[in-house]
């Protein structure tokens, strides 16, 4: 049964208008001490409201049917319906809640699966509290949240999972031919897909870091992507990650 978190949420100052502006959060984790402690930490933020807790995926699905949270903090390792199975159900139902996976796992395959199932962020449980808080605000604003280590790991895993060319590659290759990117922009896209940071790309290409940023701005504009992860996934899906 879902545990509506009236005790963990603390007093909510103000009236309806201030409540409406809050980011409404559901916390799903099967460890009560961790879950309760996290809810109390989140409740200290003026713009957060923890509206419910869940201890497994089935409770998550029940809660999301009853209310419409902005953010779901989801543990991957839960009894019964685990995090990945829950994500699959949410994807099938086209639920609009943005999901941040909060996990102690370091399994890169699970990270990749979670991203493919529509996760908006991945935060390791050993992450500093202020970064978790920042990730919630960023994801609520429509961004993807992965730290640099996780981003590179996810991208490498996508690249490693790529199969040798097959007839199915015909369409991406045709898309690539229509791409408006210059050769230099293609090189930068390939490096982003391989997990390189701006400074590393600048050193590798013998250009300034600002020039890299300028190229990225143009690339984002041309391809209609909003961040590095979207760009990297676009590159891999369209066979641009090798730079050829």
- pLDDT tens digits, 164-186: 433 333 334 334 334 578 999 99
Output helix, strand, coil percentages for the chain, rounded to the nearest 5: 55, 10, 35
Domain that holds residue 152: 6-157
Average pLDDT over every residue of 212-234: 84
Both 131 and 220 in one domain: the answer is no
The predicted-structure confidence for 33-90, as pLDDT tens digits, reads as follows 999 999 999 999 999 999 999 999 999 999 999 998 999 999 999 988 999 999 999 9
pLDDT in tens, 100-158: 999 888 777 888 888 888 888 899 998 889 999 999 998 998 877 876 667 666 666 65
Check which CATH number belongs to the domain holding 203 and give it: 1.10.10.10
237 pLDDT higher than 50 = yes
User: Residue 2 region, left (φ>0) first, then alpha (ψ -120 to 50), else beta?
Assistant: beta
Q: Are residues 177 and 79 in the same domain?
A: no
19 and 122, same domain (yes or no): yes
């Amino acid at each position: 049964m879902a545990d509506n978190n009236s005790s963990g949420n603390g007093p909510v100052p103000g009236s309806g208008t201030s409540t409406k502006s809050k980011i409404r959060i559901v916390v799903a984790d099967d460890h009560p001490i961790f879950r309760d402690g996290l809810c109390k930490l989140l409740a200290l933020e003026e713009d957060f409201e923890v509206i419910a807790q869940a201890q497994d995926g089935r409770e998550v699905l029940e809660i999301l049917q009853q209310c419409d949270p902005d953010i779901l903090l989801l543990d991957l390792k839960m009894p019964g319906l685990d995090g990945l199975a829950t994500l699959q159900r949410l994807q099938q139902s086209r639920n609009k809640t943005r999901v941040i996976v909060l996990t102690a796992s370091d399994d890169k395959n699970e990270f990749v699966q979670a991203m493919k199932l529509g996760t908006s962020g991945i935060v390791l449980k050993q992450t500093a509290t202020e970064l978790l808080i920042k990730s919630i605000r960023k994801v609520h604003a429509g961004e993807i949240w992965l730290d640099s280590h996780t981003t590179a790991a996810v991208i490498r895993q996508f690249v490693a999972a790529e199969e040798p060319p097959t007839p199915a590659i015909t369409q991406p290759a045709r898309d690539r031919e229509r791409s408006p990117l210059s050769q230099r922009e293609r090189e930068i896209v390939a490096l982003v897909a391989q997990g390189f940071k701006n400074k590393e790309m600048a050193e590798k290409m013998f250009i300034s870091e600002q020039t890299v940023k300028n190229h990225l701005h143009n690339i984002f504009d041309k391809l209609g992507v909003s961040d590095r992860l979207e760009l990297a996934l676009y590159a891999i899906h369209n066979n641009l990650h090798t730079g050829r």
